Amino acid sequence: MQYISTRGGDGPLGFEDTLLSGLARDGGLFVPKDYPQLSRDDWNALKGKSYTEIASAIMGYFTEGEINHEDLSAMVNETYSGFTHADVAPLVALDNDIHVCELFHGPTIAFKDYAMQFLSRAFDRALSARGKRAVILGATSGDTGSAALEAFQGRDFVDIFILFPDGRVSPIQERQMTSVIADGAFAVAVEGNFDDCQDAVKALFRDLEFRDRVGLSAINSINWARLMPQIVYYVTSALALGAPEREVAFAVPTGNFGNIFAGYVAKRMGLPISTLICASNRNDILTRFFESGVMAREGVEPSFSPSMDIQVSSNFERLLFELLDRDHGKVKQNMAEFSETGRFNVAPDVMAKAREMFKAYRLDDEGTLAEIARVKGEHGMVLDPHSAVGVYAAHQARVSGQVDQDTPIVALACAHPAKFPDAVEKAIGSRPELPPHLADLMTRESNIHHVSKQPKDIADFVDQMKRQNHGT
């Protein structure tokens, strides 16, 4: 398996070089040179297998030639051994053939655990074999950071720095990050919003001298290997609901477009996904794009679903690359235009292709609270605000006829409701409790660093911490 950049100036690389590079040196994102193609018999052969067996099989296509089956299976088994549900990503049925896929049974009770626990082991394996260290720099709107710090803390070959917007993540999310106190693990509050954090990360990746000197790598979904494990729960859900003989649709709450792009990859692999439903909160740049064909950056407004408070959806470049028939030049032109003006548009024929696969909905804060209350009242299930946006979009797609009655819809529940207790309490009048392993979270010791949003200040902080820890 080889990987190329969406902007045409880097690659092809193998899996481990792609993993360690994170962002391509030309500023683009890595994608497979060719997507694996599975037949109906291949999908049927996975039916009845465990989550870890299916994960090993699916991820094996993307690590082919570099990680043998035995080593990969061992990594996958270790990755999910600490999850608290036997099915790892269980399905719960609602009404009207809508199902919720619970993606909050990992250590930090958010869907980022499914990829991050694998990534930490993949990094350790690759760096150990090369005798190298890496600095991982990531931006988070909440859940990525806590999952990354939990997974990477204490790893032998990695220092990890997670940037988050000061005061714009939930108290639970912040304490999950800042209570990870381990050598080489740094939770860094940045003045500004998530897009400022993400912009700083991208700027430092473009600084090739700094990048090479510290061995910079990424765990955000700009890193292809972050998306790879997320493909798996699309496969397990679809197989459980009758694939490959039956089509399935998915509703995905998304801001950075990584989780839903994993579903697109599953579809490209041959999984019979009829529709991918893009669910946005009030920061609806993605919904506006699918409605108008214009990607236009606006101000970020804080919401009850802060992980989607984003106006620059980094992973969208991967979809744009595919929609433009892998034309590197057009991708570079559009991304340069977006960087300079905050907008670009695509041609009507390109939008026609996009709308064949994607439907898009938005839900504001008032509607989010109403949806949490509705699902609790009708089904006894308590959703977090992000998951509520996804379930709402699933219902809208059904009642509008955009997904037909014979096609089951899976709404991805991306976080445990206890991560956002204030919003949930507003909706249903009671606060959800944290799972037992996190019951003492808010009383744990905490350590937080503060840095400006200027890339130079962040680079200086990384250098300072490296000197303190390693003398280099």
Active site residues: 112
Instruction: Please state, in angstroms and rounded to a whole number, the distance separating the CA atoms of residues 12 and 4.
Output: 5
Tokens of 66: 């570099």
Q: Which amino acid is at 394?
A: A
Structure-block tokens of residue 155: 């790893």
Q: H/E/C letters for each residue in the chain? A: CCEEECCCCCCCECHHHHHHHCCCCCCCCEEECCCCCCCHHHHHHHCCCCHHHHHHHHHHHHCCCCCCHHHHHHHHHHHCCCCCCCCCCCEEECCCCEEEEECCCCCCCECHHHHHHHHHHHHHHHHHHHCCCEEEEEECCCHHHHHHHHHHCCCCCEEEEEEEECCCCCHHHHHHHHCCCCCCEEEEEECCCHHHHHHHHHHHHHCHHHHHHHCEECCCCCCHHHHHHHHHHHHHHHHHCCCCCCCEEEEEECCCCHHHHHHHHHHHCCCCEEEEEEEECCCCHHHHHHHHCEEECCCCCCCCCHHHCCCCCCCHHHHHHHHCCCCHHHHHHHHHHHHHHCEEECCHHHHHHHHHHEEEEECCHHHHHHHHHHHHHHHCCCCCHHHHHHHHHHHHHHHCCCCCCCCCEEEEECECHHHCHHHHHHHHCCCCCCCHHHCCHHHCCCCCEEECCCHHHHHHHHHHHHHHHHCC
> Would you say 282 and 255 are in contact if contact means Cβ atoms under 8 Å apart?
no
C-beta of residue 7 within 8 angstroms of C-beta of residue 331: yes
- Alpha-carbon torsion 294, 299, 302, 308, what sign? positive
